[in-house]
Structure formats: structure tokens, C-alpha cells
Amino acid sequence: MIELKGLTKRFGDFTAVDNINLQVETGEFFGLLGPNGAGKTTIISMISTVLLPSCGQVYIDGHKLDRKASEEKKKLGVITQEYSMRQDMTMDEVMQYQGKLYFLPKKVIKEKSDELLEFAGLSEFRKRTVRHLSGGMKRKLMICRALLVEPEILLLDEPTAGMDALSRRQMWNLLRKVNNQNMTIILTTHYMEEAQALCNRVALINSGKLQKLDSPAALIEEQGAFAVDEFLDEGTKSHFFKTKEEAIHFLESSDEQASFRATTLEDVFVECAGRRLL
Amino acid sequence: MGILTVLWEKWVEFRRDFYKISVAAIISPVMYLIIFGLGIQTTSHGEPYLHFLIPGIVAMATMTGSFGAIAQSMSVQRLYEKALDQVMVSPTPLWQFIVGQIIGGSLRGMYAGALILLLTSPIQTGLIFNGLSIFIMFLNGMVFSTIAVVLSFLAKSYSDAPRFTTYIIMPMSFLCNTFFSTDQLPAGFRQVISILPLSQSCDMIRKIANGQMISFFGIGILLIYLCIFGLIAMLFIYKKKNL
């Protein structure tokens, strides 16, 4: 279990993360959602100890997490938003380095690297340096690297950014698979359909503050499960309704061009972030 | 264990860039040897100047090799590649990462120094380079690797690493007993220069080369630098809030 207690991060006068309190249960698939600059990556960076909090603390299974906590860090695997790898290392070397940093035996590193790179379709490029890989390949390599050490907790910061639709679906399947093996996953993403499809619970973060915390279904229910979009001259205006009948009644009585649909997590996100679709 | 991992990473880097590293390590020292040792042929204390110069150049090559190997690589890893994040997240104790960097950097410095010794070996100088010289080279390399680690944590942009070289390494190269004895410097300035690590390393390597005894004061000075910058490096990696 991961626990964030009063987690706060300030950069000078700017508060990037403001007193976040939440718990992520073992085996949970948890999403951190929010607009750009909401503080999601800063939270992930604090859980991975790259940044230290200004206030508050992260606990893993009840133990305080800091840079000295080797036992707790052993449980963590991180896929950062940026390609945090030596650019001049080959794929094989990247995997070896990761394995060595986690004290894995040489034989295990070799076997697991073979398996993961094969699974990700990267085997034939394993002698290629990171610098010469495409963005999607780098992303896949980062995932292989994180999974090499079989972490109990996987932190994913925008893991599918830059991936094509097919690769993204493959990634979803992989993440579901590892989550089914009781791996706790914390995911930040800009793709709302990704969070809706994968996460048991999501936290909506805005301006560093926790705005909402619940399952995607519950958040959609709270917003109103049915939506009617009115296409006005100034843009699209969405209306949300608890029941289908209410939505259809509104649609029929509307003088504007309008359409009916199911509410999505993106609607919740847009409303929460205080934005309107244009 | 973590130390070996870092040394492995340094070995991968060295193996891949072997020719670039080797050529870069010898260009400046060889230029100095040609210009000051062979071009402007002069004497120092009744001996050919080359006898004075070679130990200084060896110490300087060790310094620049060690400093360059760490300052550049760690700044790039921290600011550009973000590869340091991989280490920060891992269970490898961070002190082992720092010690690995320091030893790895020092070995690179020793390699640069060894290349100079190899290149000057055909010249009949009668200078002595023994186990104690190697120890001083290693210690000198450790000091400058540690300084490089600290500076790479302070770097705010990629261009800071070469800037640090200009501010720290270049003045030391010229002032610290490498090309001329610090005895000739004005009082006050001389004392300041003489307690800098390269001055001590040059002095000790030169004394050993000439068959003289060295004082443990020099080793003490190097150890003090190593401890101070080592502690700062540990403080940064464990306590710096925004790495």
C-alpha cells in the first residue's frame, strides 16, 4: 500500500503539489489525472524520491520512503515521462544496468531481458543504442526496463505518450496483465479513455490540489451518466443528466442542434479542470 | 556491489569511446610536452626542463582525465538524459553510486596519466615512477572526481560543465606546480596555491620521480579535499530536494 500524507512540493513561491492525502491499495490500478502543470509528474517524482517533498511524507507498506530506504525502493519500478536512459547505451546495456542496480543475478537479467525484449518486439534492435531508437521504441524499452525487476509497485508517468494506437492497445493489455498479478500501478495520463479503461480509481488533480477521488464509474455517475451536447455558435456546450429520460427530454426540447451520448471521464475531467470544450 | 555496477557502467562508456577518450586525454599534455619540453628547450635547477615538466604533466593529465570523465558525464545524465533518475529510484545505496563515480573517474584519470608515462617512456630522463606515484595519481584522481561530482550537482545547464573546467581546471593546470615551481610566486599567493590539490600532487609525484622522500602533509591535504567534497556530494545526493 502507498500512502501520501500531506504531500506538498514548493518551488520557490510556486506550490506545485498542495497537501495531497491519499492511499493506493495493494494491487490497485490508480490513475492521477489533471491538466498540464497540475502536479502529477511532481507527485510521481516524489514517490520515486527524485524530488523530496517540502512537507509531508510518502509511506510504502507503512514504512517511510526516502532516498535511503533501499528495501522500499526495491518495490518500485518507474517509467518516467522523459526517456530517462543513457542515450549511448545499447538496449542490452540498458537492461543490464537496470538489473545490476537492482542486484539481480547475471543469468536472471539475461533470461528476463530476452523474454521482455521479445515480447515488446525489440529483440532485433537490442544492439542499437538508445539514441538511434524511435520514440515508441524508447517507450517500450522503458517499460521492459521497469518490468525487468518485477516491482510490486509500478509508477507510470504518461507511459503511452507518443505511441501509435496499436502499440497503446498492446500496452493496455500488458498493464492489465501485470496488474492482474497483483502489481500496484499508479498511472498519470492525458488520455482519459486510457484511465477510464484501466483504472480502478482516479484522482483528479488541479493546481496541485486533489479535486476528486473515486472510481471512474462513480465520478461519471456523479457528473451525470448521460450527456447532451449543444452545438452553439460560440462552441459546444455539454449538459449532464442523471437519467436517460431527462437527457432525451432536454434534447427534444432544445432549439439548437444537439446530440445525445454517454458521459465519459473526459467530461468529468473537463468540468473539474474548469474548462469547456470549444 | 553498487560500486561495481557504476564501474561496469564506466567500463561500458570507456570501451565504447576508447579512441575518443584516449586521443582527448593526450592531446593537451602532448602539446605542452612538445612546446615547453622539446620546442623551448631550457633547464630548471640545472636539469633539463623536461625532467621538471613530465611529473607535472602526469599529475595534470590525471586531474583533467578524472574531472572531465565525471563532470561531463554526470551533468549530461542529470540534466539532459535524466538517467540519474534511474539510479535515484533504484535500491542501490546512493553512497555506493557516489563512491563508484569517484573511483571510476579516478581510474580514467590514471589512464590519462599512464598514457603520458607511456608516451614519454622512450625519453631517457631517469625519472622514477613507482607504486607510490600510482597511489598519488589515484588519490589525485579521486579528489578531482569528487569535485566533479559536486559541481555536476550544482550545474544548472549543459554548458556549466565546460564552464567549471574553465574556472577551476584551467587555472590549476597552469598555476599549481605543473610548469613552474610555486616557490617563485609572491608570498601569500604562493601559500594559497600550494594548498591546492594539484600543487600537492605535482610536488609529490615530482619528488618520487627524483628519488626524494615525500611528506605525508601532501597526502593529508588530498585526503582533506577528498573528505570535504565527498561529504558535500553525499549531502547533495541524499538531501538536495530537487536533483
| DSSP sequence for A249-274 | HHHHH-SS-EEEEE--HHHHHHHHTT
Q: Is A82 on the interface with B (CB under 8 A)?
A: yes
- Using CB atoms, which residue from B5, B83, B239 is nearest to A84? B83
Interface contact flag, A83 B243, Cβ < 8 Å: no
> Whole-model pTM?
0.89
Interface contact flag, A101 B87, Cβ < 8 Å: yes
Give pLDDT, residue A30.
Answer: 96
Whole-angstrom Cα distance, residue B78 to residue B66?
A: 18
A90 DSSP assignment: B
- Using CB atoms, which residue from A50, A70, A82 is nearest to B91? A70
Give the residue among A101, A84, A65, A188 at the shortest CA–CA distance from A142: A84
Q: Is B94 on the interface with A (CB under 8 A)?
A: yes
Q: State the greatest distance between any 2 C-alpha atoms of chain B, in Å, as a whole number.
A: 59
Q: Which residue of A has its CA nearest to B86?
A: A84
For residues A196 and A265, the answer to whether their CB atoms sit within 8 Å is yes
Alpha-carbon distances, residue A136 vs A77, A88, A139, A154, A206 (angstroms): 19, 17, 5, 19, 28
- Using CB atoms, which residue from A68, A71, A89 is nearest to B12? A89
Question: Which of B85, B90, B96, B238 is the best residue to mutate to test the A interface, defined by the most A CB atoms within 10 Å of its own CB?
Answer: B90
Work out how many CB contacts closer than 8 A connect A with B. Answer: 86
Q: Is B16 on the interface with A (CB under 8 A)?
A: yes
Supply A124's cell numbers. 532485433
ipTM above 0.85, yes or no: yes
Contacting residues of A for B12, CB less than 8 Å apart: 89, 93, 97
- What distance in Å separates residue B92's CA from the closest CA in chain A? 6
Give pLDDT, residue A235.
Answer: 84
Coil vs helix vs strand at A121: coil
For residues B199 and B178, the answer to whether their CB atoms sit within 8 Å is no
Q: State the first-to-last Cα distance of chain A, in angstroms, to the nearest integer.
A: 40
Helices (H), chain A: 40-47, 70-73, 91-101, 106-119, 135-148, 165-180, 192-198, 216-223, 244-253, 265-272
For residues A63 and A69, the answer to whether their CB atoms sit within 8 Å is yes
Q: Is B72 on the interface with A (CB under 8 A)?
A: no
DSSP sequence for chain B: -HHHHHHHHHHHHHHHTHHHHHHHHHHHHHHHIIIIIIIS--EETTEEHHHHHHHHHHHHHHHHHHHHHHHHHHHIIIIIS-THHHHHHSSS-HHHHHHHHHHHHHHHHHHHHHHHHHHHTTS-------HHHHHHHHHHHHHHHHHHHHHHHH--STTHHHHHIIIIIHHHHHHSSSSS-GGGSPTTHHHHHHTSHHHHHHHHHHHHHTT----HHHHHHHHHHHHHHHHHHHHHHHH-SB-
Give pLDDT, residue A171.
Answer: 84
Contacting residues of B for A82, CB less than 8 Å apart: 82
Given its phi and psi angles, is residue A20 left (phi above 0), alpha (psi -120 to 50 degrees) or beta? beta
Give pLDDT, residue A277.
Answer: 38
Interface contact flag, A51 B5, Cβ < 8 Å: no
Domain boundaries, chain B: 2-239
The 10s digit of each residue's pLDDT in B110-132 is 999 999 999 988 888 888 899 99
Whole-angstrom Cα distance, residue A157 to residue A48?
A: 11
H or E segment at A155? strand A153-157
Contacting residues of B for A52, CB less than 8 Å apart: 239-242
Mean pLDDT score of chain B, rounded to an integer? 91
For residues A84 and A29, the answer to whether their CB atoms sit within 8 Å is no
Question: Which of A48, A97, A133 is the best residue to mutate to test the B interface, defined by the most B CB atoms within 10 Å of its own CB?
Answer: A97
- Using CB atoms, which residue from B4, B238, B243 is nearest to A50? B243
- Using CB atoms, which residue from A78, A82, A86 is nearest to B89? A78
Q: Could you give phi then psi for residue A145, rounded to 5 degrees?
A: -60, -45
Contacting residues of A for B13, CB less than 8 Å apart: 88
The 10s digit of each residue's pLDDT in B18-36 is 999 999 999 988 888 888 7
Contacting residues of B for A88, CB less than 8 Å apart: 13, 16-17
Whole-angstrom Cα distance, residue B83 to residue B76?
A: 8
For residues B90 and A101, the answer to whether their CB atoms sit within 8 Å is yes
Contacting residues of A for B2, CB less than 8 Å apart: 101
Interface contact flag, A101 B86, Cβ < 8 Å: yes
Mean pLDDT of B50-66: 92
Question: Which of B5, B86, B88, B95 is the best residue to mutate to test the A interface, defined by the most A CB atoms within 10 Å of its own CB?
Answer: B86
Q: Is A14 on the interface with B (CB under 8 A)?
A: no
Q: How far is CA A139 from the centre of its chain?
A: 14
Mean pLDDT of B40-68: 85
Supply A32's cell numbers. 492521477
The 10s digit of each residue's pLDDT in B148-188 is 999 999 998 878 878 888 898 999 988 998 888 888 789 89
Question: Which of A67, A75, A157 is the best residue to mutate to test the B interface, defined by the most B CB atoms within 10 Å of its own CB?
Answer: A67
Alpha-carbon distances, residue B124 vs B50, B54, B120, B208 (angstroms): 10, 12, 9, 17
Q: State the greatest distance between any 2 C-alpha atoms of chain A, in Å, as a whole number.
A: 70
Q: Which residues of chain A have pLDDT under 50?
A: 276-278
Contacting residues of B for A89, CB less than 8 Å apart: 12
Supply B146's cell numbers. 569528487
Q: Is A56 on the interface with B (CB under 8 A)?
A: no
